[in-house]
Amino acid sequence: MKLGAFSVSLSVKDLAASKTFYEKLGFRPFGGSMEQNYLIMKNESTLIGLFQGMFEGNLLTFNPGWDENAQALERFDDIRSIQKELRASNVALLSEADENSSGPASLMLTDPDGNVILLDQHR
């Protein structure tokens, strides 16, 4: 199962303060914007998403079809195929992708400790 680029998506109280903090750790803005209330920060191949007011708690995020530079992968497992494989393994899903669709879609699940995992395919 190819899950694509990995990042930690953090729910932050103050986007500007979080941006400043992570810049001190060597992260630089890579995507998003202050006006959109989210930033994707990058330090080499490590990605952190900072999201203000978009969701509660933190998420482990995977982007099928993208590498860590948000570049399209030539070969990847479509989210609907991943979803079928998860269902076949009896993994409970919090939200699902429409299996009759194509292109962008997402699904969510939790690990045994309640950590939320988002699979978010953008292509």
DSSP secondary structure, 52-88, as one string:
ESS-SS-EEEEETTB-TTSPBPSS---HHHHHHHHHH
Side-chain-facing half-sphere of 82: CA atoms under 13 Å:
24
CATH no. of 6-56 = 3.30.720.120
| Predicted pLDDT of residue 123 | 87
32 backbone dihedrals φ, ψ, rounded to 5°: 75, -170
Domain 58-123 class, CATH top level: alpha beta
Identify the residue whose tokens are 């080499």: 44
| CA–CA separation, 29 and 20 (whole Å) | 10
Per-residue pLDDT of the chain (123 residues; tens, 9 = 90+): 999 999 999 999 999 999 999 999 999 999 999 999 999 999 999 999 999 999 989 999 999 999 888 899 999 999 999 999 999 999 999 999 999 999 999 999 999 889 999 999 998
Residue boundaries of the structural domains of the chain = 6-56, 58-123
| Predicted pLDDT of residue 116 | 95
Strands 28-33 and 38-43: antiparallel
**Common-topology check for domains 6-56 and 58-123:** yes
Strands 105-110 and 93-95: antiparallel
- Among candidates 104, 111, 59, which has minimal Cα distance to 78? 104
| Predicted pLDDT of residue 113 | 87
